Amino acid sequence: MSKQSREVIIKTITIHKNYDEVYNFFINIKNWEKGGALKNIHKLETQDLWEVDTPTGKAQIKLKPNKQFGILDHDFIGSGGDSWTVYCRVIKNAEGATVSWTFIRPEVLSKEEFESQLLNFEIEMQGWKKALED
């Protein structure tokens, strides 16, 4: 028996800064605080993980970047044991860049729980855009 496909949410934003500036902004996880929803981001000493305060509690993030291909994928591990890989791409777009995030609902979250986890994401994207373009 094959597993059934799960819900996917895709978010995108176009930023009027060059690719390198946008990629370098997002590879620095501390900059993610500028979106407004994530706070107190700090690297854990013994692991390749970052700990962060989110609106739903503490979480951990493990970045899996590849600048050559514009990849900023990262594992998100929530306080309730929910975890998933966020597929993130930075794409050259004329003189700017477009960033896209693909979220696939983890099996441990209901559709409602998954969607509620992403409620603040639109606000975060606007915060990041403002931080980059101002």
The pLDDT value given to residue 43: 93
The pLDDT value given to residue 31: 96
Domain ranges of the chain: 8-133
DSSP 38-55: -EEEEE-SSSS-EEEEET
Q: What is the CATH number of domain 8-133?
A: 3.30.530.20
3-class DSSP assignment, residue 126: helix
Over its length of 134 residues, how does the chain's per-residue pLDDT go in tens digits?
557 778 899 999 999 999 999 999 999 999 999 998 999 999 998 778 999 998 888 999 999 999 999 999 999 988 777 788 999 999 999 999 999 999 999 888 888 888 887 888 889 999 999 999 99
* pTM for the full predicted model: 0.89
